[in-house]
Amino acid sequence: MKEGKSVKFKLQQQQQQQNGHVSPFKFAKLLDPEASWDKDQLGDVLHWIRQVVGLLCGLLWGAVPFVGAIWIVVFLILSSGIIYGYYAIILKIDEEDFGGHGTLLQEGLFASLTLFLLAWILVYSLAHF
């Protein structure tokens, strides 16, 4: 393997990758369709995008407030749409290299759903009662 040999904690691993074969992680890469993606890196990026979308939607839904289970569906469609749009249109990656649409869209889905519900319920309960 081209990477380092010993300890493999995340940060160290990223540093090793920066010194090694994978290009250094930059924010410009997030929007660059030419960039090459590691499976782990792409998964992490998609995970965090989903969490941010979940948190923002939760705060927004709670502040408005939106009421009704239909808004959970709206959130799921919106967040999956953002993820799909991100990897298919902005990054233009071939999803087959990363395990298909299912794997990519599943990344961080449950965590973001619970985060979204938590933010929504908290803001709704605290701000409107």
Partner 1 sequence: MATLLSGFKYSDSLAVVGISICTAFLCEGISWILIYRTSSYKSLRSTIDKASKKLETMKTVDKPSKKSKTKKIDRVETSLKESSRDLSLSKLKSGAVVALVLFVVFGLLNSLFEGKPVAKLPFVPVSIVQKMSHRGLQGGDMTDCSMAFLYFLCSISIRTNLQKFLGFAPPRGAPNAGLFPMPDPKTN
Helix ranges (H only) for the chain are 10-19, 39-63, 70-85, 100-106, 109-128
63 Ramachandran zone, left/alpha/beta (phi>0; psi -120 to 50): alpha
Please report how close the Cβ of residue 70 comes to partner 1 at its closest, in angstroms.
8
Cβ proximity to partner 1, 27 vs 110, nearer residue: 110
Closest CA to 81 of 122, 123, 109: 109
CB 112 within 8 A of CB 52: no
Q: Which of 35, 59, 82, 118 binds partner 1 (CB under 8 A)?
A: 118
Closest CB 32 distance from partner 1, rounded Å = 22
* Member of 6, 26, 34, 89 binding partner 1 (CB under 8 A): 6
Residue choice 33, 34, 89, 129 for contact with partner 1 (CB under 8 A): 129
In the region spanning residues 17 to 56, those forming contacts with partner 1, defined by CB under 8 A, are 39-40, 43-44, 47, 51
Q: Cβ(54)–Cβ(115) under 8 Å?
A: yes
Q: How many other CB atoms are there within 10 angstroms of residue 110's CB atom?
A: 9
Catalog residues that contact partner 1 under the rule CB under 8 A. Answer: 1, 3, 5-11, 13, 39-40, 43-44, 47, 51, 61-62, 65-69, 71-72, 97, 99, 110-112, 114-115, 117-118, 120-122, 124-126, 128-129
